[in-house]
Structure 1
Amino acid sequence: MSVNVAGGEEPDAEQIVLRPPVGVLVGGLITSIYALTVLVTTIPYPGKIGVNYNALGTDWMVFYGAIRSVLDGHASLIFDAERFTDFLNTAFADWLSKPLDLRPWAYPPSFLLLLLPFPPLGFFGSYVAFQLATAGLLAVALRFRAADWTVSEVLLPIVLLCPASFINVIDGQAVFLVAALIVGGLRLLKSRPVLGGLILGLLTFKPQFCILVPLALIASGQWRAFWGAGLSAMALVAASGAIFGWELWLHWFPLMVENLAGSGTKWIEVGRIWGNSVYTCAMLLGAPQGLASGLQLLAALFAAGSVVIAFRSRLGVREKMAVFLAATMLAAPHSGPYDQALVTLAAVFWLTTMGSPRPPLWCWTLALLIWLVPLVSPPVLIPVSRPAPLLTAALIVLVLQRRPAPAEPPLQRKAGSNSAT
C-alpha cells in the first residue's frame, strides 16, 4: 500500500509516495483483520475472541436511551445512574448477552441535540446510521480539497481501518464525529476562519475534547474563529435548553463537577478506571489517587503548552493538526480505547510531513505501536497498555521538533501568500 501526500503546504508541492516497511504493513493489516474479527464475533459470540464487549452498541444504548427518555418525558431518569442502568437492561435485555454494569449518562444536554434526528430509526437503525453519518463527515473533512492541503486518497481508509475505529463501531461511540470536527475546523481556519470556529465550537458536545480549542485559536491569533467557536457552543446550549428544558443543565453541572473532582467513587469505578487517560494509567500503575490526579493535570498542562507552541509557530497545517489531535487525547480527563483513533490520525499526519517516501524505521515503529494500543486496551484488563500515554507525549515532542519551512522574503510575502494558520 502506498500513500500519496504532499511534501509542502502549497498545491504545487512535490508529490511523495510513503512506502511503509513490509513488516509494518503486514502488522497493520493483520491487526485490522483481527479487530474486524472481534467486531463480527461480538454479534453471536461476545468475548470468544478478544475483549468481551457484551454486545454491539452498548455505548450507543446510553446515547439512544438518554434521548429516548427525554423525548418520552422522563428526563430526570438519565441523571440517576442506577435507575437509568436498570432501564437500559430492561429495554435491551434481548440484545445484551448479560446485564450492563452501571452506565451513567455523563454528557452535557447539548449532546442530546445532536442525537435528536436518530430516535425515529429505532435502536439498531439509529446505531448504524450514526456510525455511517459520522464516518461520512470524517470522509468529507479528510477529502475536502483546499489550496494549502493535499491529502492521500488512502488516508481515510487508513483511519477507518485502524483498530480504534473498529472498537468505536463495536461500542457505538462518537470518535468519528470528534475527529471530523477537529480536522474540518482546523483546516478551515486559514480560508474561512469563522466557519472553522463554528465547527470547532461543536466539540463542546464532549467537553473533554474541546478544552484546547481556545488556546489554539488565541495562540494563532484567530480571533474571528475564537468568537465563532464561542457562538456555536452557546448556540448548542441555548437550543438544548429551549428544546429539552433548562432543568437538564441544572442537573448536569453539579454532576460534571463531582466527576472532575473525583469525589464520585462510582464514576471512578465504572467510568474513568475503564478508560485510557493519564489518570487511569497512573492509578493502575500503583499511584495514589492524588498523585494520579496531579499527573493528569501535568499532562494537560504539557498538552496545552504544546498546542500554544505549535500554533504560534510556522509549522504547517498537518504538523499543527497532529499536535492538536495528540494533545487533545493526552489532556482529556477521560477517554476510551476508541478515542485512540485521534492519536493514530496524528501519527499518520506526522509521517506525511517527513518529506521522504521512506521515513526511518523507528518512525514507522512508533506509529505502529500507537496503532496497536486499542487492541491491548483497556489498561484495567491488559497491563501492557498502561504506559501508552508516553507514546502520545513522545509523538507531540517529535512533531514539535519538525523544522518549519523557510520564511518567505518580505517582497514575496507582500505579493501574495496568506500567513500560515
Structure 2
Amino acid sequence: MIPALAMSFYIWLILVTTIPYPGKIGLDYNTLGTDWMVFYGAIRSVLDGNAPLIFDGDRFTDFINTAFAGWLSAPLEFRPWAYPPSFLLMLLPFAPLGFFGSYVAFQIVTAAALAVALRAFAANSLTSGALFAAVLICPASAINAINGQAVFLVAALIVGGFALLERRPYLAGLVLGLLTFKPQFCILVPIALVAAGQWRALLASGLSALAMMIASGLIFGWDLWLRWLPLIIENLVSPNEKWIEYGRMWGHSVYTCAVLIGVPQRLASWAQLLATLGAAISVVIAFRSRLGIREKIAIFLAATVLAAPHSGPYDGTLLVIAAAFWLMARAAPLPLWCWTLAFMVWLLPILSPPLVFPVGRTAPLFPVLLIGLLLRPAGPVEGVKAPVPAG
C-alpha cells in the first residue's frame, strides 16, 4: 500500500503542477483538460451553429488551438471529434458553465455517479467509502482528471447498470444503453445480456440507445448523424493516418502494443480482432455461469478494456475496479501474489503510454490475467450469487 500511495501522490502532483510547470516532474500533458477541450469545443460549436466543423479533424484542431490558446502551453497536434452525436446530449448541461467550470463540474458529477454505483457492492458505508477512495486516488483516475476524460461515467454506467440487472432489468437496460456515447465500450453489452438471458434488459438498452439518438437528432439536427455515420464507416475501412499516429498509438490497446513490438499493422489488426473475440467469449462464459454478479462485472470490465480498439491510460480505472472486485470475491486471508497483481494493475497507467515506456507494452496481459483468474474456480467466494433459474 505504501508504494501504491506514493505512486498516486506522484501522479496527482503532476495534475497540480501541469498548468504552472507542464512536464517538469513527469509527462508533459500540455495543460489540464486537453480532451475536455474536444468535448467542450464540440458542444459549443454545435450550439453556435457551426456543427460541420467538428467533423473536419484538421479544422477542428485549429479551432481548439485558437479558442484555448491561453490555456495551452503548445498547440495540439491532432484532436478530432470521433463520438456519436448522442454524447452531445450528456455535454449539453455543462455547456453554460464555461470551459474550466464545465471541466471541473463534469469530473465531480461523474465521480459522484461512480461512488453511488460502487455502493451496491460494499457491505457497509465504511467499505463503500474505502472502495471509492481506492478507485478515486488511483493513477488512472488522476490521468482521467488531467485529460478531462469520461472514464468515471463509463465505469458508473457499467457497474450501476449490471448491479441493477437482477432486481430491475428494465432500468438496468436503460442505464447500459447510455454507454453508446462511447461505442468502443458498449460492444460487449448485448453479448452479456443475451448470455444472461436478460431479454427485458436487452430491449431496454436498445430503446435507451434509440432514445438518445432521436433526442440528439431533434435537438441538434439530423445532419449530425448523416455526417457522423459515413465518417465512422470510412474510418473503420480506411483509418485516418493522423488519428493512428496522434490518437491510437498513444493508447495501450492490443493493436497499439502489437505494432510497438514490431508486428505489421495488418497482423496487429487481426490480433485486436482475436482479442475482441476472446473478450466476448469470456463474457458469454461469465454471464452463463454461477459466478456472483460482482465477479461477472469484473470480467466485463476487464473484457471491455481488452476488446476496445482504442483505450488510454485513464481507462485503467476500469481495471482497478475489476481488480478490487476480484480481491473482494476471494476468501481471506489473501496471499501476497494477489496484492502484487493488484498493485501492478494500479501501477500500469504510470508506465503508459507504451509509445514512451516499453514496459507498458505488456498492458493487454493484465485484463487477460484478471479474466483468467476470475473464471478459474478459487474456493469459497464472498460475492453475491446470481439466482439460479427455476427448473
CA contact (8 A) 2:282 2:299 kept: yes
1:261 shift after superposition:
3.0
Letter in 2 for 1:187: A
Residues 141, 323 of structure 1: CA spacing in aligned structure 2 closer, same or farther, 3 A cutoff? same
> Residue 93 of structure 2: SS of its match in structure 1?
coil
Match of 2:262 in 1: 286
Residues 146, 100 of structure 1: CA spacing in aligned structure 2 closer, same or farther, 3 A cutoff? closer
1:219-268 alpha-carbon deviations (Å, 9 max, x no partner): 01111101010010010011111111111111111221233334321211
Match of 1:77 in 2: 53
1:242-281 aligned within 5 A? 242-281=218-257
1:94-105 aligned within 5 A? 94-105=70-81
d(CA) in 1 for partners of 2:124 and 2:303?
Answer: 23
> Residue 334 of structure 2: SS of its match in structure 1?
coil
1:212 paired with 2:194, answer no
Match of 1:354 in 2: 330
1:323-362 aligned within 5 A? 323-356=299-332, 358-362=333-337
1:128-207 aligned within 5 A? 128-144=104-120, 152-207=128-183
- Long gaps (5+) in structure 2: none
TM-score, scaled relative to structure 2? 0.95
Which residue, 276, 291, 308 being the options, matches 1:315? 291
1:313-372 alpha-carbon deviations (Å, 9 max, x no partner): 00011110110000000000001100010011100100011111x311111111111111
Letter in 2 for 1:395: L
Q: More deviation in 210-219 or 135-144?
A: 135-144
Residues 262, 377 of structure 1: CA spacing in aligned structure 2 closer, same or farther, 3 A cutoff? farther
1:16-27 aligned within 5 A? 25-27=1-3
> Residue 337 of structure 2: SS of its match in structure 1?
helix
CA contact (8 A) 1:315 1:404 kept: no
1:251-300 alpha-carbon deviations (Å, 9 max, x no partner): 11122123333432121111111111110111111110111000000100
Letter in 2 for 1:305: I
Match of 1:411 in 2: none
Letter in 2 for 1:393: V
Match of 1:395 in 2: 370
> Residue 117 of structure 2: SS of its match in structure 1?
helix
Residues 150, 211 of structure 1: CA spacing in aligned structure 2 closer, same or farther, 3 A cutoff? farther
Letter in 2 for 1:390: L
1:381 paired with 2:356, answer yes
- Long gaps (5+) in structure 1: 1-24, 407-416
d(CA) in 1 for partners of 2:129 and 2:321?
Answer: 14
TM-score, scaled relative to structure 1? 0.89
1:44 shift after superposition:
0.6
1:107-118 aligned within 5 A? 107-118=83-94
1:62-86 alpha-carbon deviations (Å, 9 max, x no partner): 0000000000000000001111111
d(CA) in 2 for partners of 1:150 and 1:29?
Answer: 19
Q: How many residues are paired up?
A: 385
Rg larger in 1 or in 2?
A: 1
